[in-house]
Structure 1
């Protein structure tokens, strides 16, 4: 049997490109994990303030505008309502009797700590004391939010594993619709199961179970349908690239542990446009804030799910055309 000598040469020519691509991937991983941590801190955190106009102006002048976005509210009741509706991350009520610091730890523990420090600083400037009221805390059984932060990797793997396993069990064009149906069915079962664990087993959230479950189902469906679609339309390279995007960028940029305001603005915005970040924000909104702020992450996840289904439909149409061409050739 003769061998084509050009094949090894072609492989050697591709080797530098493969090496450079892998090196770029490693560098991107380093940036995604290291830079947000190095440059982590409050970045335009929306914080409400109630008090005299002079107090507000003094606070705006004394705080770093790159760290805090100071907004004025008419009274403490309006400020508390804005926090519970997620319009601001927390707030300060400055009176002659002291400084009341309103926080929402479940919305972002890192921002809560920084806001508490800011409140103590303002109180010291006015020669008074600061008292902290956590309006939206984590649950009593999980006061540090460990269950919330631990859910991210199961969410990501809940998208990767179905695409990987179903593509092996139902390969080719004939199994394409079965893969998509199986991925969506898995999302429903797994999303409901994860919500049950968080709500009833670890007691990590206190929101409505069904609302939380729907959010988790949507997040897993967005991940699984996208990866199944990429694998069907592009092949193994599409699946690998999509998985790397979700795991190596979506994971560290999700902001689920600290809250998105703790990441640099560009990184935070990009992370919230990826399924892991949007899933985390939707879970936080449904699990602690009664759905407040759920609109944007739900829209992002829906767009990813539609994108994945569209890729599957395009791949299916392309496969049908190829089968028609083969049948025509065989019939000649």
Structure 2
């Protein structure tokens, strides 16, 4: 029994309202609840233990401070992406080391701590002068996701075979990744580092998004919606691009790092600002999503093949 147009219209309208509410929650909730939660820091110098205790007393649960042997070890922890900041004590007082490339928000918070207890602030991974707040970098994530969704729709409806869809994903990832970083570095100036490795990371990120969604769609058109909503409503707001994974409500910040947008943000930061330190895990995650997309495309091809009726069964067999 078919429902009336009125019932369908009301149902579709309510479904759209639910989707809108979910999108508001997905994007606004992490931003509204952004706060430091066990953010890794290191402390060095004769008063390191006292500084760590004072910080825990003043901001309980905000920072996870580890004591290291000296300033060199503290600097290595920042440049190796093991910590977001360092507190170095000495005869002249406390010096705060930050890495804005890892998270401008955390760097700003540590600078505020330094202002509360007069200290010198040194940035070991500064942002480009053309993007001093990191807003341009954080804005890169959504276009990568949205363009991946759009391309997946085109591949699904315009390319019939899995092989041609895979080829389309490859061409899109290479052209889009190379072009995006050319704009980001050459025109906008929001990413430092050598062009080739940064662009290669972007190519992999684009392939992970577009390949996975296209692969899901090959198993059924509903896969387009599942993939798009997962990466858009979960992956983008939980990527930590505008803050850091440790600033998002637990466990969502950690979950976001397992999705392509979050892994892409961490990988780009590692390669652009830290010469590849900390790039291993996000690189493996993006490679895993890319391979998963190829496997889904292959599974979709097998599924289509099984649904086709063999020629021998469609045509009468002529007796010899």
Q: 1:322 aligns with which of 303, 307, 310?
A: 307
What is the aligned length?
315
The counterpart of 2:90, out of the listed 82, 91, 95, is 95
> 1:292 and 2:292 equivalent?
no
Q: Does 1:142 align with 2:126?
A: no
Q: 1:240 aligns with which of 199, 222, 225?
A: 225
Gapped runs of 5+ residues in structure 1? 1-5, 124-128
- 2:103 aligned with 1:108, yes or no? yes
The question of 1:276 aligning with 2:261 is answered yes
Residue in structure 2 matched with residue 73 of structure 1 by the alignment: 68
Whether the aligned pair in 2 keeps the contact of 1:139 and 1:203 (CA below 8 Å) is yes
Query: How many angstroms apart in 2 are the aligned matches of 1:16 and 1:300?
Result: 41
SS of 1:265's equivalent in the other structure is coil
User: Is 2:12 the counterpart of 1:28?
Assistant: no
Contact 2:162 2:298 in 1 (8 A): no
- Tell me, in whole angstroms, the C-alpha distance in 2 between the residues paired with 1:200 and 1:86: 26
TM-score relative to the length of structure 2: 0.90
- TM-score, normalised to structure 1, is 0.87
| RMSD (CA atoms) | 2.3
Query: Once the 2 structures are TM-superposed, how far is the Cα of residue 17 of structure 1 from its aligned partner?
Result: 8.2
Change (3 A) 1:135 1:316: same
Runs of 4+ in 1 over 6 A off after TM superposition: 10-20
CA apart distance, 1:87: 0.5
Asked whether the 8 Å contact 1:152–1:251 carries over to 2, the reply is yes
Structure 2: tracts of 5 or more residues without a match: none
Q: Give the corresponding residue for 2:188.
A: 202
SS at match of 2:243: coil
Match of 1:159 among 129, 144, 148: 148
Shift of 1:196: 1.6
Question: For residues 113 and 57 of structure 2, what CA distance do their matches in structure 1 show?
Answer: 10
Partner SS state of residue 288, structure 2: helix
Please report how far the alpha carbon of residue 18 of structure 1 lies from its aligned counterpart in structure 2 after TM superposition.
Answer: 6.6
Aligned-partner Cα distance in 1 for 2:112–2:295: 48
Secondary structure in structure 1 of the residue aligned to 2:101: helix
From 190, 193, 206, give the equivalent of 2:176.
190
What secondary structure sits across from 1:244 in the alignment? helix
The answer to whether structure 1 residue 254 and structure 2 residue 239 are counterparts is yes
Q: 1:54 to 1:304 in 2, by over 3 A?
A: closer
